[in-house]
């Protein structure tokens, strides 16, 4: 979350201000979680007073949380009508997916240039094993957790902190779309095997092949997600 501005004050007012900020951050995190998990679906509306009563706080921290969420494009603040959850923009997702494909391909390049040791790839193998086990149990939620672990380990192995931070910010923006598409997409068996092929190629030192496998996998996966977004009119009210 972008930090909510804190005013420099002393004495009792400082305690009051600090508590207000903490309440605003709590409201922000909870409302955002509900939007991402589709508990507050596209078009959902709520008054500030309703949210304040639901969260057991005053309207001020609720309003501050909504202002931050509006900046992130998740809600629209409607005067005297509280907030409304905004749709996902297919165009926004397309632009982010395009960046993700190239940035993760760059991560693969950095890994191969760094001459990694065989054991460096073990966390990636473990993540793939987790993805396969989840598919066997038909547990797409567990598959998603293992998939996220794979991509985190891949970025960590690249060893570029700024690239890791940039990717994390983009992942945050795609969480909602992926959550909505999670149970609507076909079983990600092909994605899982492509992740495995990537690790095999990197272990063999096949840098160009590894980059191509991951770049093409990213593009294929993103096309599938975008089709789901359009099919279910997630980008329309």
pLDDT tens-digit map of 110-169: 999 998 999 999 999 999 999 999 999 999 989 999 999 999 999 999 999 999 999 988
Q: Return the CATH number of the domain spanning residue range 12-85.
A: 1.10.10.10
Q: Is the pLDDT of residue 170 over 90?
A: no
- Which top CATH class is 90-231? mainly alpha
> Mean pLDDT of all residues in the chain?
88
pLDDT tens per residue, range 49-96: 999 999 999 999 999 999 999 988 889 999 888 899 988 888 888 999
Q: What is the pTM of this model?
A: 0.74
Q: Is the pLDDT of residue 28 over 80?
A: yes
Report in angstroms the alpha-carbon separations of 116 from 127, 191, 205: 18, 24, 9
Same fold, 12-85 and 90-231: no
| Closest of 107, 115, 123, 94 to residue 211, by C-alpha | 107
- Contact of 84 with 47, CB cutoff 8 Å: no
The ranges assigned to domains in the chain are 12-85, 90-231
Tell me, what's the pLDDT at 218?
Answer: 93
Q: How confident is the model at residue 232 (pLDDT cuts 50, 70, 90)?
A: low
């Amino acid at each position: 979350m972008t930090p909510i501005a804190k005013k420099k004050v002393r004495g009792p007012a400082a305690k009051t201000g600090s508590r207000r900020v903490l309440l605003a951050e709590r409201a922000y995190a909870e409302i955002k979680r509900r939007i991402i998990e589709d508990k507050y679906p596209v078009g959902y509306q709520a008054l500030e007073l309703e949210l304040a009563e639901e969260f057991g706080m005053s309207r001020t921290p609720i309003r501050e949380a909504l202002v931050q969420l509006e900046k992130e494009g998740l809600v629209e603040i409607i005067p005297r009508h509280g907030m409304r959850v905004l749709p996902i923009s297919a165009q926004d997702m397309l632009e982010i997916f395009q960046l993700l494909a190239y940035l993760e391909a760059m991560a693969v390049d950095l890994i191969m240039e760094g001459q990694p040791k065989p054991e460096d790839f073990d966390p990636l193998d473990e993540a793939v094993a987790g993805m396969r086990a989840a598919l066997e149990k038909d547990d797409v939620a567990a598959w998603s957790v293992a998939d996220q672990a794979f991509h985190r380990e891949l970025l960590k192995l690249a060893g570029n902190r700024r690239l890791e931070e940039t990717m994390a910010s983009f992942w945050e923006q795609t969480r909602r779309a992926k959550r909505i598409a999670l149970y609507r997409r076909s079983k990600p068996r092909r994605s899982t095997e492509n992740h495995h092929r990537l690790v095999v190629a990197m272990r063999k030192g096949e840098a160009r092949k590894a980059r191509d496998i991951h770049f093409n996998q990213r593009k294929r996966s993103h096309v599938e997600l975008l089709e789901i977004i359009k099919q279910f009119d997630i980008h329309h009210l």
